[in-house]
């Protein structure tokens, strides 16, 4: 991924710290996290549960404030949510009261109807939900709901997409399919993606770079480059080497 | 004597047979069998006690026929339904918007909620003297009492629905820049709708209970008044029980009508799983 080195910085974390105050106790969740994500880069934040990776994402999305440090996008400090940077949520964030079509059209509601219709249809087709435009989320499987969620985010052509363990609730086969679809879509549109996961394989399959966070308080343990071209061979020695390295960084026994 | 005995035998036989019937038929046959046995026991109790006041099922059926033939029943049904529909509509018209705003806006909620919670446990029946004082004997008092009965369940239910909107949906709305009226129309209202409909159902049920009591005490028409009148005008308990049955049937129909709201695509998600 030598090409990514030439691209300009997109999302920059500068010394981000976050403290949760609970019952009088101060709990340091994130400790001085600094990271530069380049334009069009796919970065995975990998770490054990409770390491603050979701919090880091929420700060970058403008849903939470850092106690120290800041996050900038294109040099501008993030202060509130914006539809230029879209979240794909861990639980289903799509609206169960709206059809697939209306969900995907949510971010395009101020657009002229004709233009909007074309984009919505194209996005629905891209995530493989053609024919389900009028269906309601409750009529769809978990994987299809997550596709709607991804489509809703893609429809607004965001600069940055934040994904918080988006495939966590899916069965393992659907998860594999969704990953390869996500990579396909990312290669077509090249948005910057920050993807939170605790799944080592998921991070190697998706990311240009894997940012490993330590257990609480979350600090960056290391950043691992995945120098593999897509489609990636999950059985290659290089894949295995990266996997060992990530397990080592996480401090987990990886031979059973 | 032969009739009740036969009914019990038939009812018990049906209950024994129904297990072998297909599901759809069973759901009709089993309640029918229970009703047959219940009616028979009622009839036997009347015979054995030797009462001349309490009606048998047959007396009640004849009383019901008499009520249906007389112009009186329809007038009273219409009087009760008139008060309930006005009081209920006013309560929904004020309670739903108020609940939406108070549920969403924390400051409004903090100010209003204690007052609402304080007034809510007061039975609408307790308001009857005040209703008569303010509105006199007639529709005004009835509508006011039904308004009170329905207003609290609807407002509290709507408020709770809004406060239960999931964080993910709130953040989705924020993320896509929904604000003001658009936020209400696209997220707050539809997200609360299933629970609002449930609170409408509860409120209409309460309203139908209260109107009968209100009409028995403070009005000169309606089904509640009909019950009182039947007793006072010569202890016509056959008409009393017949009117009670009419009240029950109308209650079922009202509930059925509100439940039709649950079938819309936009709210069905709220009843499947949550």
Cross-chain Cβ contact A81/B174 below 8 Å: yes
Return the sign of the alpha-carbon dihedral for residues B71, B73, B74, B80: positive
> In chain A, where are the structural domains located?
2-84+158-250
| pLDDT tens digit sequence for A14-37 | 999 999 888 878 888 898 999 999
Q: Is B66 helix (H, G, I), strand (E, B) or coil?
A: helix
Classify residue B70: in a domain, yes or no: yes
Q: Give chain A's mean pLDDT.
A: 89
| pLDDT at residue B56 greater than cutoff 50 | yes
Out of B171, B177, B190, whose CB is closest to A97?
B190
**What does the pLDDT read at residue A4?**
47
Q: Are B84 and B211 in contact (CB under 8 A)?
A: yes
The secondary structure of residue B105, as a DSSP letter, is: -
Classify residue B139: in a domain, yes or no: yes
Q: Are B44 and B4 in contact (CB under 8 A)?
A: yes
10-residue block means of pLDDT along chain A (256 residues)? 64 92 85 93 91 90 92 92 88 90 94 93 90 93 90 91 89 86 90 93 93 88 88 88 90 68
Instruction: Mark whether B242 and B159 lie in a shared domain.
Output: yes
Superfamily of domain covering A2-84+158-250: P-loop containing nucleotide triphosphate hydrolases (3.40.50.300)
Instruction: Mark whether B70 and B155 lie in a shared domain.
Output: yes
Tell me which residue range forms the domain holding B13. 2-50
Residue B125 sits in a domain of what CATH number? 1.10.3720.10
Instruction: Mark whether B109 and B214 lie in a shared domain.
Output: yes
Count of structural domains, chain B: 2
Question: How far out from the chain centre does Cα A48 lie?
Answer: 16
The residues on A that touch B, with CB distances below 8 Å, are 61, 63, 80-83, 86-87, 89-99, 106-107, 109, 136-138, 156
Q: Which of residues 152-181 of B touch A (CB under 8 A)?
A: 166, 168-169, 171-172, 174-177
Classify residue B74: in a domain, yes or no: yes
With contacts defined as CB-CB under 8 Å, which chain A residues touch B177? 81-83, 107
Instruction: Mark whether B177 and B106 lie in a shared domain.
Output: yes
Instruction: Mark whether B101 and B200 lie in a shared domain.
Output: yes
Q: Are A60 and A71 in contact (CB under 8 A)?
A: yes
Q: Please state the ipTM of this predicted complex.
A: 0.85
Q: Tell me the shortest Cα–Cα distance from B213 to chain A, in angstroms.
A: 39
Instruction: Mark whether B46 and B75 lie in a shared domain.
Output: no
Instruction: Mark whether B132 and B86 lie in a shared domain.
Output: yes
Most confident of A16-25, A90-99, B193-202, B231-240: B193-202
Cβ–Cβ contact B196 with A under 8 A: no
Instruction: Mark whether B174 and B235 lie in a shared domain.
Output: yes
Instruction: Mark whether B42 and B75 lie in a shared domain.
Output: no
Q: Tell me the shortest Cα–Cα distance from B171 to chain A, in angstroms.
A: 8
Classify residue B57: in a domain, yes or no: no
Q: Give chain B's mean pLDDT.
A: 91
Out of A86, A91, A136, whose CB is closest to B265?
A136
Cross-chain Cβ contact B269/A138 below 8 Å: yes
* High-pLDDT (> 90) share of chain A, %: 55
Cross-chain Cβ contact A89/B168 below 8 Å: yes
Instruction: Mark whether B99 and B219 lie in a shared domain.
Output: yes
What residue in A sits closest to B182 (Cα-Cα)? A109
Instruction: Mark whether B192 and B166 lie in a shared domain.
Output: yes
**What does the pLDDT read at residue B98?**
95
Classify residue B56: in a domain, yes or no: no
What residue in B sits closest to A155 (Cα-Cα)? B176
């Amino acid at each position: 991924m030598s090409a990514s080195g030439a691209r300009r910085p997109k999302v920059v974390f500068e010394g981000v710290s976050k403290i949760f105050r609970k019952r009088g106790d101060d709990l340091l969740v994130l400790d001085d996290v600094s990271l530069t994500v380049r334009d069009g880069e796919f970065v995975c934040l990998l770490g054990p549960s409770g390491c603050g990776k979701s919090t880091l994402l929420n700060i970058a999305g403008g849903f939470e404030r850092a106690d120290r440090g800041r996050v900038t996008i294109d040099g501008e400090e993030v202060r509130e949510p914006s539809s230029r940077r879209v979240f794909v949520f861990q639980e289903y964030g799509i609206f169960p009261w709206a059809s697939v079509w209306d969900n995907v059209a949510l971010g395009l509601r101020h657009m002229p109807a004709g233009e909007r219709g074309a984009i919505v249809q194209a996005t629905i087709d891209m995530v493989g939900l053609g024919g389900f435009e009028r269906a309601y989320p409750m009529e769809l499987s978990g994987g299809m709901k997550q596709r709607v969620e991804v489509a809703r985010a893609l429809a607004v052509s965001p600069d940055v997409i934040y994904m918080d363990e988006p495939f966590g609730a899916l069965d393992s086969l659907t998860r594999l399919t969704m990953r390869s679809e996500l990579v396909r879509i990312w290669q077509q549109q090249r948005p910057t993606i920050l993807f939170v996961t605790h799944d080592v394989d998921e991070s190697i399959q998706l990311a240009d770079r894997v940012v490993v966070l330590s257990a609480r308080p979350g600090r960056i343990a290391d950043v691992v480059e995945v120098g593999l071209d897509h489609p990636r061979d999950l059985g290659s020695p290089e894949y295995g080497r990266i996997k060992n390295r990530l397990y080592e960084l996480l401090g987990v026994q990886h031979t059973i | 004597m032969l009739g009740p005995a036969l009914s019990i035998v038939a009812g018990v036989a049906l209950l024994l047979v129904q297990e072998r019937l297909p599901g759809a038929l069973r759901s009709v046959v089993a309640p029918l069998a229970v009703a047959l046995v219940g009616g028979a026991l009622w009839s036997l109790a009347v015979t054995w006690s030797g009462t001349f006041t309490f009606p048998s099922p047959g007396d009640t059926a004849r009383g019901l026929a008499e009520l249906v033939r007389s112009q009186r029943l329809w007038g009273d049904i219409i009087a009760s339904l008139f008060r309930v529909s006005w009081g209920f509509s006013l309560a929904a018209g004020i309670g739903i918007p108020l609940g939406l705003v108070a549920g969403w806006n924390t400051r409004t909620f903090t100010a209003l909620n204690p007052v609402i919670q304080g007034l809510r446990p007061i039975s609408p029946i307790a308001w009857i003297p005040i209703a008569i004082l303010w509105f006199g004997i007639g529709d005004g008092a009835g509508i006011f009492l039904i308004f009170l009965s329905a207003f609290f369940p609807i407002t509290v239910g709507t408020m709770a629905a809004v406060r239960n909107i999931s964080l993910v949906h709130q953040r989705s709305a924020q993320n896509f820049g929904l604000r003001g009226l658009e936020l209400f129309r696209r997220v707050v209202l539809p997200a609360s709708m299933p629970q609002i409909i449930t609170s409408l159902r509860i409120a209409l049920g309460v309203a139908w209970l209260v109107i009968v009591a209100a009409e028995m005490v403070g009005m000169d028409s309606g089904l509640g008044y009909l019950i009182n009148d039947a007793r006072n005008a010569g202890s016509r308990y056959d008409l009393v029980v017949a009117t009670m049955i009419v009240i029950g049937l109308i209650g079922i129909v009202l509930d059925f009508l509100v439940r039709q709201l649950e079938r819309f695509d936009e709210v069905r998600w709220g009843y499947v799983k949550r």
